[in-house]
Structure 1
Amino acid sequence: MKSYCLCLFFLASGLFSYSQEKINWINWDQMIQERENDSIKKKVFIDLFTSWCGWCKRMDGTTFSDRTIVNYMNSKYYCVKFDAETKDTIVFNGHQFINSDPSFVKSTNSSRGKSHWFAHSILDGKLSYPSYVILDENLTRLMIYKGFKDTEKLLGILLFFASDQYKYYNNYLNEAWNKSLKNNSQN
């Protein structure tokens, strides 16, 4: 009877995890291909991670597993999962990026390697994991976020950029700055 209950438990938990929706993570090349095929371009969300990063795994197990986050990201973004220590070559804006350790690229083992030059470039040399980069529809970087984000914080970020609110916020800041300069010059 005990083994029967255990068997049912594992079967039910397997079905539950199978039925859960997941973020449609793609690699860089797949994102480029999907963009070419889509008539309406979406923004790009890049999750930069490493295999040894505990907070990256926690994001995968919590925030990136939340149904609201999953549905929103899948509908509004190309979701790129980028291993910051990958051996893959990335082409971006006419530049070719490789892993910073040529001996690691040529090795056949799966040991921890050095960081990829794409990670250095897209994060302005400030490597921290997990990190998230949002690109607009033209692949222009909009923002870098670092560290663990709970569902509420990440959803706010996703909404802010997908709805183009960042454009209005920049206009507001520019107007406020110009008004401040004008007021200061009159005094």
Structure 2
Amino acid sequence: MKSLLTTILLLICISVQAQEINWMTMNEALAAQKKEPKKIFMDVYTDWCGPCKLLDKKTFHNKDVVAFINKNYYAVKFNAEGTEEIHYNDFTYTNPNYNPDRKGRNSQHFFANALKITGYPSMVFFDENSNLIAPVVGYKTPQQLEIYLKMIHNNDYKKLTTAAAWKKYESSFVGTFSN
């Protein structure tokens, strides 16, 4: 009986883990890209941001989103007001104005500033060579995020050079992610 209970608990733990995105730091993703090129998907958040928490809870725990991101991207979780040192394009980005005693909003990390992050949450895409593709600002449901995940993964974004081309692509997109 004890061994059966242990087995059941182990299966539950594995099942729960399977529903998690394999988050890493930007430095880890950049190092991984050198070994095996893959696009980077970055979640840019802050601790005080309500929509960021909703995105994490609802969208980033959706089984379809988790499976697609884990298979096709290096996933990065980045606190835009944190203290992580990021080594990107021969420059080290920091947050020298960070105040650990401050409650709520803090200073923006220089990397978030370099990416021109204007709102939270933002999801930022990089190509296989670590070049910035585009940020997507705001909360997205799994179904809303799906179009960006697939469009960028398939390199369709390279063909969408006008607003009309985007509208046509968006209207013809057939999503498959569940609620």
Q: TM-score, structure 2 length as denominator? A: 0.76
CA RMSD of aligned residues (A): 2.4
Question: Residue 33 of structure 2 aligns with which residue?
Answer: 35
Letter in 1 for 2:22: N
Give 1:18 shift: 5.9
Residue 13 to residue 57, structure 1, CA distance change in 2 (3 Å): farther
Question: Residue 91 of structure 2 aligns with which residue?
Answer: 95
Q: Please identify runs of 4+ aligned residues in structure 1 that moved more than 4 A.
A: 12-18, 109-112
Question: Residue 160 of structure 1 aligns with which residue?
Answer: 151
Give 1:52 shift: 1.1
Q: Percent identity?
A: 31
CA distance in 2, matches of 1:110, 1:46: 25
8 Å contact kept, 1:128–1:146 = yes
Q: Does 1:44 align with 2:40?
A: yes
Q: 1:61 pairs with 57, 62, 72, which one?
A: 57
Query: What's the secondary structure of 1:132's corresponding residue?
Result: strand
Query: What's the secondary structure of 2:83's corresponding residue?
Result: coil
Q: 2:141 pairs with 132, 135, 150, which one?
A: 150
8 Å contact kept, 1:100–1:115 = no
Residue 155 to residue 86, structure 1, CA distance change in 2 (3 Å): same
Give 1:79 shift: 0.5
Question: Residue 71 of structure 1 aligns with which residue?
Answer: 67
CA distance in 2, matches of 1:138, 1:66: 28
Query: What's the secondary structure of 2:160's corresponding residue?
Result: helix
Give 1:36 shift: 2.0
8 Å contact kept, 2:97–2:107 = yes
Residue 160 to residue 57, structure 1, CA distance change in 2 (3 Å): same
CA distance in 2, matches of 1:160, 1:94: 29
Query: What's the secondary structure of 1:139's corresponding residue?
Result: coil
Q: TM-score, structure 1 length as denominator? A: 0.73
Give the total of aligned pairs. Answer: 153
8 Å contact kept, 1:131–1:145 = yes
Q: 2:109 pairs with 109, 116, 121, which one?
A: 116
Question: Residue 25 of structure 1 aligns with which residue?
Answer: 23
Query: What's the secondary structure of 1:52's corresponding residue?
Result: coil
